Amino acid sequence: MKIRQDFVTNSSSTSFIISMKDDLNKERFLKDIGIEGPSSVSRLFEELYEAVEQNKQDIIEYMKESRTSYRSVAEFLQTEHYDEETVKTIEKLLAENRKVYYGNLRSDGYSAAEVYFCSESFLICEDNLYFNGKIGGW
Amino acid sequence: MMILKLSDGYYCKADDNFIYEELEKRISDTLHLRKDSFAEFYTKRIFQAFFQYARDLKKEYLTYYGQEYDSFADYLYKKELMELEHIKILNLSERQTLFKLNINLSSYNADSLIEYEDNGIDILNQALEEIGL
Protein backbone atom coordinates (compact mmCIF):
# COMPACT_ATOMS: atom_id res chain seq x y z
CA MET A 1 0.00 0.00 0.00
CA LYS A 2 1.26 3.47 -0.84
CA ILE A 3 0.84 6.20 1.69
CA ARG A 4 1.68 9.77 0.82
CA GLN A 5 3.65 11.24 3.65
CA ASP A 6 3.75 14.84 2.54
CA PHE A 7 0.85 17.20 1.96
CA VAL A 8 -1.64 16.28 -0.73
CA THR A 9 -2.65 18.82 -3.34
CA ASN A 10 -5.30 18.57 -6.00
CA SER A 11 -4.48 15.82 -8.44
CA SER A 12 -3.93 16.53 -12.10
CA SER A 13 -3.88 14.44 -15.19
CA THR A 14 -2.13 14.85 -18.48
CA SER A 15 -2.90 13.14 -21.73
CA PHE A 16 -0.95 10.76 -23.94
CA ILE A 17 -1.39 9.16 -27.34
CA ILE A 18 0.18 5.82 -28.14
CA SER A 19 0.26 3.59 -31.17
CA MET A 20 2.41 0.58 -32.01
CA LYS A 21 2.94 -0.98 -35.39
CA ASP A 22 1.99 -4.36 -33.94
CA ASP A 23 -0.33 -5.02 -31.03
CA LEU A 24 0.57 -3.14 -27.90
CA ASN A 25 2.30 -5.38 -25.38
CA LYS A 26 4.83 -4.91 -22.61
CA GLU A 27 7.76 -6.79 -24.13
CA ARG A 28 7.49 -4.93 -27.42
CA PHE A 29 7.04 -1.59 -25.66
CA LEU A 30 10.14 -2.10 -23.52
CA LYS A 31 12.18 -3.14 -26.55
CA ASP A 32 10.98 -0.19 -28.60
CA ILE A 33 11.80 2.36 -25.91
CA GLY A 34 15.34 0.97 -25.74
CA ILE A 35 15.60 -1.73 -23.09
CA GLU A 36 17.78 -4.36 -24.68
CA GLY A 37 18.39 -6.80 -21.85
CA PRO A 38 17.94 -7.43 -18.15
CA SER A 39 18.06 -4.06 -16.45
CA SER A 40 17.32 -2.84 -12.95
CA VAL A 41 15.65 0.26 -14.36
CA SER A 42 13.25 -1.74 -16.52
CA ARG A 43 10.83 -1.85 -13.55
CA LEU A 44 10.38 1.88 -13.89
CA PHE A 45 9.45 1.60 -17.55
CA GLU A 46 7.27 -1.45 -16.89
CA GLU A 47 5.31 0.72 -14.47
CA LEU A 48 4.97 3.34 -17.18
CA TYR A 49 3.65 0.68 -19.55
CA GLU A 50 1.21 -0.58 -16.91
CA ALA A 51 -0.09 2.96 -16.38
CA VAL A 52 -0.56 3.35 -20.12
CA GLU A 53 -2.26 -0.04 -20.34
CA GLN A 54 -4.65 0.78 -17.50
CA ASN A 55 -5.54 4.25 -18.70
CA LYS A 56 -5.64 3.91 -22.47
CA GLN A 57 -8.69 3.74 -24.66
CA ASP A 58 -9.10 3.45 -28.40
CA ILE A 59 -9.13 7.07 -29.53
CA ILE A 60 -12.25 6.60 -31.67
CA GLU A 61 -14.10 4.95 -28.79
CA TYR A 62 -12.91 7.67 -26.45
CA MET A 63 -14.33 10.32 -28.76
CA LYS A 64 -17.65 8.48 -29.06
CA GLU A 65 -18.00 8.21 -25.29
CA SER A 66 -17.09 11.82 -24.72
CA ARG A 67 -19.85 14.26 -23.74
CA THR A 68 -18.82 16.48 -26.62
CA SER A 69 -19.50 15.21 -30.10
CA TYR A 70 -16.55 15.61 -32.40
CA ARG A 71 -16.81 15.55 -36.20
CA SER A 72 -13.31 14.18 -36.63
CA VAL A 73 -10.18 13.05 -34.82
CA ALA A 74 -8.56 16.29 -35.93
CA GLU A 75 -11.25 18.31 -34.20
CA PHE A 76 -10.86 16.25 -31.03
CA LEU A 77 -7.08 16.63 -30.98
CA GLN A 78 -7.25 20.34 -31.69
CA THR A 79 -9.66 20.74 -28.80
CA GLU A 80 -7.12 18.94 -26.63
CA HIS A 81 -4.48 21.47 -27.77
CA TYR A 82 -2.37 19.15 -29.91
CA ASP A 83 -0.47 20.85 -32.71
CA GLU A 84 -1.02 20.41 -36.43
CA GLU A 85 1.92 18.06 -36.81
CA THR A 86 0.46 15.70 -34.21
CA VAL A 87 -2.96 15.86 -35.87
CA LYS A 88 -1.44 14.93 -39.24
CA THR A 89 0.58 12.10 -37.70
CA ILE A 90 -2.47 10.60 -35.97
CA GLU A 91 -4.58 10.88 -39.12
CA LYS A 92 -1.83 9.09 -41.03
CA LEU A 93 -1.59 6.30 -38.44
CA LEU A 94 -5.36 5.79 -38.53
CA ALA A 95 -5.33 5.79 -42.34
CA GLU A 96 -2.79 2.96 -42.13
CA ASN A 97 -5.30 1.06 -39.98
CA ARG A 98 -3.14 1.27 -36.92
CA LYS A 99 -4.75 1.25 -33.50
CA VAL A 100 -4.31 4.58 -31.80
CA TYR A 101 -4.96 4.92 -28.10
CA TYR A 102 -5.62 7.98 -26.01
CA GLY A 103 -5.46 8.27 -22.24
CA ASN A 104 -4.29 10.16 -19.21
CA LEU A 105 -1.50 9.77 -16.68
CA ARG A 106 -2.43 10.99 -13.23
CA SER A 107 -0.39 12.80 -10.60
CA ASP A 108 -2.08 10.60 -7.97
CA GLY A 109 -1.64 7.48 -10.09
CA TYR A 110 -0.87 3.96 -8.98
CA SER A 111 2.88 4.04 -9.44
CA ALA A 112 5.83 6.36 -9.04
CA ALA A 113 6.49 6.09 -12.76
CA GLU A 114 2.98 7.32 -13.60
CA VAL A 115 3.41 10.28 -11.24
CA TYR A 116 6.84 11.06 -12.67
CA PHE A 117 5.97 10.83 -16.35
CA CYS A 118 2.72 12.72 -15.76
CA SER A 119 4.77 15.88 -15.46
CA GLU A 120 7.28 15.14 -18.22
CA SER A 121 6.97 16.18 -21.85
CA PHE A 122 8.10 13.56 -24.35
CA LEU A 123 7.63 12.28 -27.87
CA ILE A 124 8.71 9.03 -29.49
CA CYS A 125 7.97 9.05 -33.19
CA GLU A 126 9.45 5.93 -34.74
CA ASP A 127 8.23 3.30 -37.20
CA ASN A 128 7.27 0.81 -34.51
CA LEU A 129 6.15 3.14 -31.77
CA TYR A 130 4.44 6.48 -31.57
CA PHE A 131 4.17 7.74 -28.00
CA ASN A 132 3.19 11.35 -27.46
CA GLY A 133 3.25 12.85 -23.99
CA LYS A 134 3.98 16.37 -25.11
CA ILE A 135 0.95 17.86 -23.45
CA GLY A 136 2.30 16.41 -20.21
CA GLY A 137 4.90 19.09 -19.58
CA TRP A 138 3.61 21.13 -16.65
CA MET B 1 27.56 3.40 -3.81
CA MET B 2 24.17 3.87 -2.27
CA ILE B 3 21.39 6.43 -1.92
CA LEU B 4 19.87 6.70 1.55
CA LYS B 5 17.11 8.67 3.14
CA LEU B 6 18.14 10.10 6.50
CA SER B 7 15.52 12.12 8.39
CA ASP B 8 15.95 15.48 6.69
CA GLY B 9 16.93 14.46 3.21
CA TYR B 10 18.61 12.20 0.71
CA TYR B 11 22.29 11.31 0.73
CA CYS B 12 24.57 9.18 -1.39
CA LYS B 13 27.51 7.26 0.01
CA ALA B 14 30.24 6.88 -2.61
CA ASP B 15 33.97 6.37 -3.14
CA ASP B 16 35.70 9.70 -2.70
CA ASN B 17 37.01 9.63 -6.26
CA PHE B 18 33.49 9.35 -7.68
CA ILE B 19 32.88 11.41 -10.80
CA TYR B 20 29.31 11.78 -12.02
CA GLU B 21 30.33 11.89 -15.70
CA GLU B 22 31.73 8.37 -15.34
CA LEU B 23 28.38 7.15 -14.05
CA GLU B 24 26.61 8.64 -17.09
CA LYS B 25 29.12 7.06 -19.44
CA ARG B 26 28.39 3.61 -18.04
CA ILE B 27 24.59 3.83 -18.01
CA SER B 28 23.77 2.46 -21.47
CA ASP B 29 26.14 -0.49 -21.41
CA THR B 30 25.68 -1.68 -17.85
CA LEU B 31 21.91 -1.20 -17.77
CA HIS B 32 21.42 -2.58 -21.31
CA LEU B 33 19.84 0.53 -22.73
CA ARG B 34 20.00 1.37 -26.43
CA LYS B 35 21.95 4.55 -27.13
CA ASP B 36 19.80 7.64 -27.78
CA SER B 37 16.67 5.79 -26.77
CA PHE B 38 13.81 7.01 -24.58
CA ALA B 39 14.89 4.65 -21.78
CA GLU B 40 18.49 5.86 -21.88
CA PHE B 41 17.43 9.51 -22.00
CA TYR B 42 15.15 9.19 -18.97
CA THR B 43 17.55 7.06 -16.95
CA LYS B 44 20.21 9.74 -17.42
CA ARG B 45 17.71 12.50 -16.72
CA ILE B 46 16.75 10.89 -13.42
CA PHE B 47 20.34 10.41 -12.26
CA GLN B 48 21.15 13.96 -13.37
CA ALA B 49 18.32 15.22 -11.20
CA PHE B 50 19.83 13.40 -8.24
CA PHE B 51 23.43 14.49 -8.73
CA GLN B 52 23.37 17.83 -10.54
CA TYR B 53 23.29 19.92 -7.38
CA ALA B 54 24.65 17.31 -4.98
CA ARG B 55 27.17 18.64 -2.45
CA ASP B 56 30.28 16.54 -1.88
CA LEU B 57 30.48 16.94 1.88
CA LYS B 58 33.91 15.35 2.23
CA LYS B 59 35.32 17.69 -0.40
CA GLU B 60 33.82 20.69 1.38
CA TYR B 61 35.20 19.43 4.69
CA LEU B 62 38.72 18.94 3.32
CA THR B 63 38.72 22.20 1.38
CA TYR B 64 37.28 24.56 3.97
CA TYR B 65 36.90 22.94 7.38
CA GLY B 66 39.73 20.44 7.78
CA GLN B 67 41.41 22.46 10.52
CA GLU B 68 38.23 23.46 12.29
CA TYR B 69 36.81 19.99 12.94
CA ASP B 70 38.60 16.93 14.29
CA SER B 71 37.31 14.55 11.67
CA PHE B 72 34.82 14.21 8.82
CA ALA B 73 32.38 12.55 11.22
CA ASP B 74 32.81 15.48 13.63
CA TYR B 75 32.12 17.86 10.74
CA LEU B 76 28.97 15.97 9.76
CA TYR B 77 27.73 16.11 13.34
CA LYS B 78 28.62 19.71 14.21
CA LYS B 79 28.42 21.56 10.91
CA GLU B 80 25.92 19.53 8.90
CA LEU B 81 23.91 18.78 12.05
CA MET B 82 23.52 15.11 11.25
CA GLU B 83 22.39 12.72 13.97
CA LEU B 84 25.16 10.61 15.55
CA GLU B 85 23.00 7.57 14.92
CA HIS B 86 22.88 8.36 11.20
CA ILE B 87 26.63 8.92 11.01
CA LYS B 88 27.03 5.51 12.61
CA ILE B 89 24.61 3.90 10.12
CA LEU B 90 26.57 5.43 7.24
CA ASN B 91 29.75 3.74 8.49
CA LEU B 92 31.91 5.75 6.09
CA SER B 93 35.39 4.43 5.44
CA GLU B 94 38.48 6.62 4.94
CA ARG B 95 38.07 6.40 1.17
CA GLN B 96 34.39 7.24 1.03
CA THR B 97 32.50 10.50 0.79
CA LEU B 98 28.94 11.55 1.38
CA PHE B 99 26.90 13.54 -1.13
CA LYS B 100 23.97 15.57 0.09
CA LEU B 101 21.46 15.33 -2.74
CA ASN B 102 19.44 18.40 -3.63
CA ILE B 103 16.94 16.78 -5.96
CA ASN B 104 14.38 19.57 -5.86
CA LEU B 105 16.87 22.14 -7.12
CA SER B 106 17.10 20.44 -10.49
CA SER B 107 13.83 18.62 -10.93
CA TYR B 108 10.21 19.30 -10.17
CA ASN B 109 9.26 15.65 -10.03
CA ALA B 110 12.26 13.29 -9.68
CA ASP B 111 11.75 12.92 -5.95
CA SER B 112 8.34 11.38 -6.65
CA LEU B 113 10.23 8.32 -7.90
CA ILE B 114 11.59 7.61 -4.43
CA GLU B 115 8.94 9.15 -2.24
CA TYR B 116 5.84 7.72 -3.86
CA GLU B 117 6.86 4.09 -3.65
CA ASP B 118 8.82 2.08 -1.16
CA ASN B 119 10.86 0.29 -3.80
CA GLY B 120 11.81 3.41 -5.80
CA ILE B 121 15.06 3.91 -3.93
CA ASP B 122 15.85 0.18 -4.34
CA ILE B 123 15.53 0.43 -8.13
CA LEU B 124 18.04 3.28 -8.19
CA ASN B 125 20.41 1.56 -5.76
CA GLN B 126 20.30 -1.64 -7.77
CA ALA B 127 21.11 0.39 -10.88
CA LEU B 128 24.04 2.04 -9.06
CA GLU B 129 25.28 -1.39 -8.00
CA GLU B 130 25.13 -2.64 -11.59
CA ILE B 131 26.93 0.46 -12.81
CA GLY B 132 29.59 -0.48 -10.29
CA LEU B 133 31.23 2.75 -9.21
The alpha carbon of B37 is separated from its chain's Cα centroid by a whole number of angstroms, namely 25
CB contact under 8 A, B123 and A119: no
Q: Which of A1, A41, A119 is the best residue to mutate to test the B interface, defined by the most B CB atoms within 10 Å of its own CB?
A: A41
pLDDT of amino acid B104: 87
Average pLDDT, chain B: 93
For the segment B115-124, what is each residue's pLDDT rounded down to a tens digit? Answer: 887 778 899 9
Q: ipTM surpassing 0.95, yes or no? A: no
Q: Characterize the bridge pairing of strands B96-101 and B55-56.
A: antiparallel
Q: What's the predicted TM-score (pTM) here?
A: 0.90
CB contact set of B5 (below 8 Å; sequence gap of 6+): B11, B114, B121
Instruction: Indicate the DSSP class of residue B63.
Output: I
Residue A25: DSSP 8-state: -
Ramachandran region of residue A105, left (φ > 0), alpha (ψ -120 to 50) or beta?
Answer: beta
Whole-angstrom distance, CA of residue B67 vs CA of residue B89: 25
* Residue A125 near chain B (CB below 8 Å): no
- Over residues B59-102, the pLDDT tens digits come to 999 999 999 999 999 999 999 999 999 999 999 999 999 999 99
Q: CA B27, CA A18: separation in Å to the nearest integer? A: 27
